[in-house]
Amino acid sequence: MKKKINIKTLAAELNLSVATISKAFKDSHEISKATKERVLAMASTLNYTPNPYASSLRKKKSSTIAVVLPEVADNFFSFAINGIQSVAEKKGYHVLIYLSHEKFDIEKTIIDDCNSGRVDGVLISITKETKTADHIQKLQDENIPVVFFDREFEGFKTARVVTNDYECGYLAAKHLIEKGCKKPVFLSISSSLPICIKRAEGFKAGLMESGLYPHKKDPIIYFTDLNQEETFNQIKKLVTGKDKPDGVVASVEKLAVILYLVCYEKNIKIPEEIKVVAFSTVDTAPIFNPSLSTITQSAFEIGKTAAEILFKGIEKKNYDITDEYVVIPSTFFERKSSQRIDTTKKKNKNS
């Protein structure tokens, strides 16, 4: 592991006190020009950049926390931010909101920026591309508390606030089967995100219990790294193909919205020809045509709880938050998009 360079390293290399090094960086009149030049030259040699926040942080906190999000188009994160801010405001803290746009490189840059000392804690929901937590480990190495919310990195020891994703995937599958579906599928945005994996595994378990899997082909269909037009075309191909599904569970609300648009274009009737359930916090679900059945996370509560845990780590010295693990259950709202249609009544009415 590469040795970390800090002000103590410079002091040891130059045989000077830490106080002298600090004063040199501040261009103090107490330090000679020659000593200042020695300090700056050694800093350049060791590729060390003074932390502009360090001195203030030794005296007081920055009174700022960072929230790192993969996107804000999803209503979940908007509600979660409200929950986070409800706690931060009471604590007299500012909230910096960063967007990674589902890109790991951006997420890493953001976390490195947070590690500069400008924030006292970090709340993060990781990207689809995140395969390592080394950048987050650096925060913990600097005693900056970190809390995962919604999307977590499994195997990394820190606090997390999530929902019961596996159970919800299972219940969604059982619901569609109870409504008469024989060929339900699960639409996912990632094959690596733990949140998507758990939902998909729960969905498969529901099918297996009912004897629909593994006798059928893999019911999990991935929409990764696709733009909206590509996703639209892929969903259109799915629901108009020879082996088209009669039920769909969308792992995120944007997939459900695109599915509705496809069905409208192709005159596919929901729920008569295909039933739809979505993981969604969209508050317009009841006015979809037909109204959308949703598995709704308590986004505000998840954000609020995550922030409360984070502040425990900020305010209480020697308090270890890494064992904090909170599961906030989601709620299923059955609406018209997944209802069973009694076709016999329609036939009798038309006869």
Which sequence spans correspond to the domains of the chain? 7-50, 61-162+299-320, 165-296+333-350
Residue 101, number of CB atoms within 10 A of its CB: 12
Q: What is the pLDDT of residues 36-71, one digit of tens each?
A: 889 889 888 888 877 655 554 444 578 899 999 999
Strand order in the sheet with 121-124: 94-99, 64-69, 121-124, 146-149, 159-162, 325-327
**Nearest Cα residue to 67 out of 38, 87, 43:** 87
Tell me, yes or no, if the two domains 61-162+299-320 and 165-296+333-350 fold the same way.
yes
Q: Residue 345's pLDDT is what? A: 54
- Tell me phi and psi for residue 174, to 5 degrees: -65, -35
Residue listed under structure tokens 């690596």:
192
Answer for the pair 189, 165: CB distance below 8 angstroms, yes or no: no
Q: What is the pLDDT of residues 259-294, one digit of tens each?
A: 999 999 999 999 999 999 999 998 899 999 999 999
Answer for the pair 252, 292: CB distance below 8 angstroms, yes or no: no
CATH 3.40.50.300 at 165-296+333-350, yes or no? no
- Can you spell out the DSSP letters for 234-247? HHHHHHHSTT--SE
CA–centroid distance for 127 within its chain:
7
Model confidence, pTM: 0.79
Answer for the pair 195, 228: CB distance below 8 angstroms, yes or no: no
Classify 61-162+299-320 by CATH class.
alpha beta
Angle value at C-alpha 46, between 42 and 51, nearest 5 degrees: 90
Answer for the pair 232, 261: CB distance below 8 angstroms, yes or no: yes
Measure the CA–CA gap between 123 and 184, rounded to whole angstroms: 35
Measure the CA–CA gap between 139 and 134, rounded to whole angstroms: 9
Supply the DSSP symbol for 151: B
Q: Residue 198's pLDDT is what? A: 96
Measure the CA–CA gap between 330 and 325, rounded to whole angstroms: 16
> 293-296 and 331-333: which strand pairing?
antiparallel
Q: Residue 343's pLDDT is what? A: 60
CA–centroid distance for 259 within its chain:
23
Please identify every stretch of the chain with a pLDDT value under 50, giving residue numbers as ranges.
1, 56-59, 347, 351
CA–centroid distance for 109 within its chain:
17
